[in-house]
Amino acid sequence: MTAELSGNNIMDTLETLLQARNMDELATRFQKAVSELGDFYCVMGTMPKYRPGGLRPVLTTYPRTWIRHYLGNNYGRVDPLLRRALRSMSGFEWRSCDPISGPAIALTHDIFDLGLRNGFAVPIHGPDASVFYASFGQKQSAPTFPLRTRMALSMLVSQYYERFQQLNAAKAAQAEEGTPDLLTPRECECLTWVAHGKTSGDIGDILMLNENTVNFHLKNAQRKLQCPNRISTVIRALALGLISV
């Protein structure tokens, strides 16, 4: 069963989000606020408005195995939620999407296997032909989302996005003062294949490299992006726009 935030609580929470000092703090506060509304899997990111399937995640609470499965099957290119978000100007429940067919059927079956039956998505159309997308998969079996929960999630996403943009602008200003430690073309290439579900051995065969060399490039990328594992490195690289899938 979903919970509710009272009027005073939601205003306090929104103010707390706006006071976050960095992205990690913003994510932690956002996830705490969402957990008070119910038990959800959450993913948020940005995508070009005119290129379906190009979601760059900035936050996700889905299991790593699911993220690897989703990326490996290129589900982003057939995900009906992403397509709906590109043309929708307001939040919508998953079950309100158009009837699915073709490859999207497999995605729907896999979502059901994950234990999700419904969800709520919030698109925010930015001024730069991009869409900020947030989606909440409801772990409990419920016929619909209460109106108050949808309203609270929409407000949280809007406030997160505002602070997200402010922090990005500040980071961009700082970057102009120095040269960031970017990934090499080969590191980006190896990460892209990881995003498609390939192992080091597979990548070595594709790029005609020794498997140890592939691991070397992936370890370097992981170190530069300060990530604990390959999947989080891929997610970070996608969020920064260093790779695309």
- Estimate to the nearest angstrom the gap between the alpha carbon of 171 and the chain centroid: 20
Report residue 35 as tokens.
């957990």
Are 103 and 198 in the same domain? no
**What is the residue type of 93?**
E
- Domain limit, last residue, from 153, 175, 197: 175
Report if residue 1 sits inside a domain.
no
- The answer to whether the beta carbons of residues 195 and 61 sit under 8 Å apart is no
Q: What is the CATH number of the domain that holds 65?
A: 3.30.450.80
Report residue 58 as tokens.
């900035």
Distance CA 111, CA 18 (A): 33
pLDDT per residue, tens digit, the chain (245 aa), is 455 555 567 788 899 999 999 999 999 999 999 999 999 999 999 998 876 567 889 999 999 999 989 988 889 888 999 999 999 999 999 988 877 778 889 999 999 999 998 999 999 998 888 999 999 999 877 767 889 999 999 999 999 999 999 998 887 776 665 545 589 989 999 999 999 999 999 999 999 889 999 999 999 999 999 899 999 999 989 888 888 87
Per-residue model confidence (pLDDT) at position 140:
77
Structural domain for 55, as ranges: 7-175
Count of residues making up the chain: 245
Are 141 and 38 in the same domain? yes
**Element housing 155 (H / E):** helix 147-175
**Element housing 112 (H / E):** helix 104-113
Are 92 and 202 in the same domain? no
